[in-house]
Amino acid sequence: MRQVVLDTETTGLEQKLGHRVIEVGCVELVNRRRTTRTLHHYLQPDRDIDPGAQEVHGISIDMLQGKPRFSEIAEEFLGFVAGAELVIHNAEFDVGFLNAELRRTGREPASVTAVCTVVDTLALARRLHPGQRNSLDALCKRYSIDNSGREHHGALLDAELLADVYLAMTGGQATLSLDRNSPEPGGQVAAPRQVDRTGLELRVIQATAEELLEHERQLQLIDKASQGKTLWRSCP
């Protein structure tokens, strides 16, 4: 299973108003383990950067002089993410900007989702922690991930942090309590436990065609026994 954790920085918040991507950072995961492969580029936007955006990421227009335009790295970018599952925090924002950049190049495909699928970790965090703050900083704190070097937002740094957050969020139950924030004896709140995966080789075993056929036969038997009331046949 190949995943690419992705983040971007932009000149502003509205791609429909002509704002552009000025930094893209990608980190590769294979079978839920970080590899050494990354993709990182600063990009020339051919427009000014909003002061509010610059306060967030600390990137000035002077820093981008001589950097490539998105059209120059589009083929490399699409090649890196093709066939992967993209892991993005607030995916609608990043995908919208990336699609706008791809449309400007005039090349096909003009959509990220034409070459890969997308998982939105913000939506996942909101399901896991309803009513709580689910920014990247808040999640780093919740899952005890060191983000002390995050003075400004940065696409590659944030992708690296998000990779750790995603693995922690989807790594299985860390406590027997049904409520992560339920107090332990003595009134202390249970802290999330970190799983040490150092040296762990996770095998991904795909079902054979025969096994898939047998599984479908069993589902049909259960469906028949319940007189068609099985939920997996009726849910979209």
**Residues tagged active-site:** 153
Among candidates 2, 39, 45, which has minimal Cα distance to 22? 45
Cβ neighbours, 10 Å, residue 2: 15
Strand order in the sheet with 85-88: 33-42, 21-30, 2-10, 85-88, 117-120
What residues have CB less than 8 Å from 214, skipping those under 6 apart? none
Q: What angle do CA 107, 112, 115 make, to 5 degrees?
A: 90
